[in-house]
Structure 1
Amino acid sequence: MSKFKTNFEQFSIASYLLKWTLYILPLAFAVGSLVAFFLWSLDKLIQLRFAHSWLLFLLPVAGLIIYLLYKYLGKNADRGNNLIIDEIHEPGGGVPIRMTPLVLLTTLMTHLFGGSAGREGTAVQMGGSMAAFWGKRLNLSAADMRILLMAGVAAGFGAVFGTPVTGAVFALEVLALGRIRHDALLPCLMASVLADITCASCGIHHTKYHIDFVSQAGGFSILHTDLVLLSKVILSGVAFGLVGYLFANLSHAIKNYSNQFIKQEWLIPVIGGAIIIALTFLLGTEDYLSLGVAGKNPDSVTIVSCFSAGGATYFSWWWKLLFTAITLGTGFKGGEVTPLFFIGAALGNTIAVLMDVPIDLLAGLGFIAVFAGATNTPIACTIMGVELFGANNLLYYAVACFTAYYFSGHSGIYTSQKIAVSKIDALSADRGKTLSQIRAARKRK
């Protein structure tokens, strides 16, 4: 009898995986294709803006159009990633299919006219809305719809950065601090891998980053680890976490105060666009516009340049943080993650110079650790380090990301994240609340 039960159990598992493979295949193909089109279009439009700097002057107009599109066509799609997270937690009104064309169009507009934003938000929202659309056609149960939405998030994230394992873990980890549920483990991995393969097959090539440093223990070492370098990485991780905290809170504050003090809502993106234009001319550089992966000039500050000596100024991280917080806080669309990569890499470059640490190592650690602190996804970000930079410095990836995670506190860019396990006992009163509820409670004190 026990042998029969064992065989039946394995048969049930095989049937379950076959079912999800059939569900995931069309979703991953659709999301991977959409992400490929998005990345191709984004590159073309950024190059167009490089060639025509005057396009920046139309950023306030673009902001107004984005506002009108979401006001009259968007409905609840304006909530973006937080809507998807809420639907995974507790199914409600659903994720509308209109989210895909809206976020695609408005993100491209943001970048064409110089707004400082990312791209993961667009990919994740396209993945989530396509998953919701597909799930409704399949008439899935609430439990299966939850898994399919997570798979859509994984597909979008994995494809947009070319990091399939990170995409899968991110979709599992981003929902709640301190808890990862494994019921969606294989569906998310399948979706992320297949979407990435689809995107790559369309001819999309992701930027290559390199950390040439390989740890070699010095005289004061134990277990083949350079303890002096490790201590500097810990201190850097504290800084990365605090900057992740700063970015999340500044972005939310700009959004909240804009809505509070600017009574005409359509004026918010117009004013935000005007401020971006003014800051660009004040600094005399376009380096902090758009993604920041590639620059207009050979000597531009970019994510790639931050991995080399002289590739960033001491305050490049701050200017990118400010430009992005204003752009997203005043209603433009895109994502936060690629700007967080820029902020982290530039901050790592600065700290490396001050602390006499290999620049490429600390730029890479900042790249993933500021992201970890701002999104509360330290495990996904550690894996991202391996997928992007190789496994030679895995210990330092983990130390930087885990430290940043703790020092960012109970804050983050995704306000619908829940506190499943508090980061420390002193914050246990936050357990079960969302980050937005925590922010509201702090404002009342």
Structure 2
Amino acid sequence: MLRKITQLEHYSILKYLLKWLFLSLPLGIATGSVVALFIWLLNTSILFRFSHPYLLYFLPIAGIAIHFIYKAWGKSSEKGNNLIIDEIHKPGGGVPPQMGPLVLITTVLTHLFGGSAGREGTAVQIGGSIARLFAKWFKLSERDIKVLLMAGIASGFGSVFGTPLTGAIFGIEVIALGKLKYDAIIPCLFASIIGDITVNAWQIKHTGYHINFTQGNNFLFSGYLHWDLLLMSKIMIAAIVFGLASYVFSEMIHNIKKLFLKFISVKWLIPFIGGVIIILLTFLVGKSDYLGLGVNPEYPESVTILSSFTNGGADALSWLWKTVFTAITLGTGFKGGEVTPLFYIGSTLGNSLAVLMDAPVSLFAALGFIAVFAGATNTPLACTIMGVELFGGEYILYFALACFIAYFFSGHTGIYSSQRIGIAKGWSNKYADETTLKDVQEKRDGYLAMKFSKYKF
């Protein structure tokens, strides 16, 4: 009888669930605890800079320090999130255990001195480095290592934003365009939920957002679905713009990195010059709104993510300035994530588009918040779920419409160059299966170089 039970498919499934619950529990607790420490340090450093604005003048020196920290102890950690994605696709040198502590320290340094960066990249790298360390301790197989790395991504992402379901979907969606790694969904879900619970247990609070817009009942779908066809047409137009903004952001970071590496041979000069440019841009703009995360206001009239949900809460070009500040910060070697700046870019762009199209400001700010992120990370499903977790399920149809259209219009580009193309966008046969975004970028660069070589200046 016992032998028959052990041969049942459901017995194997139960063993699988118990195994990954056992592995995900310590992973989620460890990742959530380090992420909680990171969020506390990050918020403390940002508030300290607000009260000591002169710290911005030391940003170039901080850039040099970050460069030498990674040169001395970083090894392959410099590749960041792309290293974790590479290890999931094709295990090689592994994710070094020092990746998490290094990126935590250097991200806090970036924000303390005014660099424009995010926090998701840091949380993901914390989760990935802890996952790889646990895999070594538990002596897991290559297949299980890949799954645990995805769970580490999910735990880091879900816990840093307080969106556990988004974290789980992000962990299986970010690896390849057009394909979901469902074999890892249970570990990702376990790890993300446990990570989020752990952050909450440490009394770390996440920013709350609210859409101040009430939908009317459409006569075709009254009582079930609330669709305003005129509003939907405006959302579709805005979604195209959101996708193009994602494309501009990704390409700008890539080209700034490429440009500096090409013309500056002394590597520590790159972050130094990047810091100087950020200081000069701050003087040019005349305010410090585009430094740091862009979540907490430095002064009452600051343009922030929260302010963009209100009428008059963003300037017409706030999204463009934030794009430039962040691209220079990250493109010249400072550390941090891209996602929170993408939230800022999207919400302020949504605010501007709402004014142009006479649409609900808070709704369009929320749509831009998730849609620009969807286009830049190629994770439209995770971003749709994020909309529900952050803003409520009432607008899920609008969230999906904005995120998936932005995903297609961002093209075959993104902030994670190691992402592989599982299924090309728009049924294109131009890109081979499993081609990375880095390969696509190199081909595009080569094509442009060939075209421009015909012209002599």
Q: TM-score range by the shorter chain?
A: over 0.9
CA offset at residue 429 of structure 1? 2.7
Q: What SS does the aligned partner of 1:114 have?
A: coil
CA distance in 2 between counterparts of 1:13 and 1:432 reads 30
- Asked if residue 361 in structure 1 is aligned to residue 347 in structure 2, the reply is no
CA offset at residue 187 of structure 1? 0.4
The amino acid that maps onto 1:265 is K
The amino acid that maps onto 2:401 is V
Aligned residues: 444
Contact 1:88–1:146 (Cα < 8 Å) also in 2? yes
CA distance in 2 between counterparts of 1:92 and 1:81 reads 15
The amino acid that maps onto 1:380 is A
In structure 2, relative to structure 1, the CA distance for the partners of 1:220 and 1:24 (3 Å cut) is closer
Contact 1:214–1:392 (Cα < 8 Å) also in 2? no
- Asked if residue 169 in structure 1 is aligned to residue 182 in structure 2, the reply is no
Q: Residue 440 of structure 1 corresponds to which residue in structure 2?
A: 442
- Asked if residue 38 in structure 1 is aligned to residue 27 in structure 2, the reply is no
- Asked if residue 339 in structure 1 is aligned to residue 346 in structure 2, the reply is no
Q: Residue 187 of structure 1 corresponds to which residue in structure 2?
A: 187
Q: Residue 329 of structure 2 corresponds to which residue in structure 1?
A: 327
Q: Residue 75 of structure 1 corresponds to which residue in structure 2?
A: 75
Q: Residue 120 of structure 2 corresponds to which residue in structure 1?
A: 120
- Kindly report which structure 2 residues correspond to 1:129-208, keeping only aligned pairs within 5 A, or say none: 129-208=129-208
Equivalent of 1:401 in 403, 407, 419: 403
CA offset at residue 157 of structure 1? 0.2
Q: Residue 214 of structure 2 corresponds to which residue in structure 1?
A: 214
- Alignment RMSD, CA only? 1.5
CA offset at residue 444 of structure 1? 1.3
CA distance in 2 between counterparts of 1:141 and 1:249 reads 37
Q: What SS does the aligned partner of 1:393 have?
A: helix
TM-score (norm: length of structure 1): 0.98
CA distance in 1 between counterparts of 2:218 and 2:24 reads 49
Contact 1:221–1:227 (Cα < 8 Å) also in 2? no
CA offset at residue 427 of structure 1? 4.4
The amino acid that maps onto 1:61 is I
Q: Residue 63 of structure 2 corresponds to which residue in structure 1?
A: 63
Q: Residue 240 of structure 1 corresponds to which residue in structure 2?
A: 242
CA distance in 2 between counterparts of 1:303 and 1:84 reads 29
CA distance in 2 between counterparts of 1:431 and 1:11 reads 36
Identity of aligned residues (%): 57
Q: Residue 413 of structure 2 corresponds to which residue in structure 1?
A: 411
Q: Residue 384 of structure 2 corresponds to which residue in structure 1?
A: 382
CA offset at residue 335 of structure 1? 0.2
- Asked if residue 287 in structure 1 is aligned to residue 308 in structure 2, the reply is no
Q: Residue 87 of structure 1 corresponds to which residue in structure 2?
A: 87
- Kindly report which structure 2 residues correspond to 1:263-278, keeping only aligned pairs within 5 A, or say none: 263-278=265-280
The amino acid that maps onto 1:277 is I
Q: Could you list the runs of 5+ residues in structure 1 that have no partner in the other structure?
A: none
Q: Residue 97 of structure 1 corresponds to which residue in structure 2?
A: 97
Between stretches 125-134 and 14-23, larger displacement belongs to 14-23
CA distance in 2 between counterparts of 1:289 and 1:30 reads 30
The amino acid that maps onto 2:83 is L
CA distance in 2 between counterparts of 1:322 and 1:441 reads 25
TM-score (norm: length of structure 2): 0.95
Q: What SS does the aligned partner of 1:403 have?
A: helix
CA distance in 2 between counterparts of 1:205 and 1:432 reads 39
CA distance in 2 between counterparts of 1:234 and 1:5 reads 53
* Consecutive aligned runs of 4 or more in structure 1 exceeding 4 Å deviation: 3-7, 217-224
In structure 2, relative to structure 1, the CA distance for the partners of 1:11 and 1:341 (3 Å cut) is same
Q: Residue 373 of structure 1 corresponds to which residue in structure 2?
A: 375
Q: What SS does the aligned partner of 1:392 have?
A: helix
CA distance in 1 between counterparts of 2:217 and 2:339 reads 33
Between stretches 330-339 and 426-435, larger displacement belongs to 426-435
The amino acid that maps onto 2:359 is V
Q: What SS does the aligned partner of 2:181 have?
A: coil
The amino acid that maps onto 1:388 is L
Contact 2:5–2:11 (Cα < 8 Å) also in 1? no
Q: Could you list the runs of 5+ residues in structure 2 that have no partner in the other structure?
A: 448-457
CA distance in 1 between counterparts of 2:295 and 2:419 reads 28
CA distance in 1 between counterparts of 2:57 and 2:424 reads 45
CA offset at residue 76 of structure 1? 0.3
Q: After superposition, give the CA deviation of every residue in 1:189-214 in whole Å (9 maximum; x if it has no partner).
A: 00000000000100100000001213
CA offset at residue 430 of structure 1? 3.9
The amino acid that maps onto 2:341 is P
CA distance in 2 between counterparts of 1:398 and 1:5 reads 43
Q: Residue 227 of structure 1 corresponds to which residue in structure 2?
A: 229
The amino acid that maps onto 1:413 is I
Contact 1:305–1:312 (Cα < 8 Å) also in 2? yes
CA distance in 2 between counterparts of 1:283 and 1:212 reads 30
Q: After superposition, give the CA deviation of every residue in 1:100-137 in whole Å (9 maximum; x if it has no partner).
A: 11000000000000000000000000000000001001
CA offset at residue 431 of structure 1? 2.8
The amino acid that maps onto 2:288 is E
Contact 1:88–1:150 (Cα < 8 Å) also in 2? yes
The amino acid that maps onto 1:33 is S
CA distance in 1 between counterparts of 2:346 and 2:21 reads 37
CA distance in 2 between counterparts of 1:19 and 1:5 reads 18
Contact 2:244–2:406 (Cα < 8 Å) also in 1? yes
Q: What SS does the aligned partner of 1:293 have?
A: coil
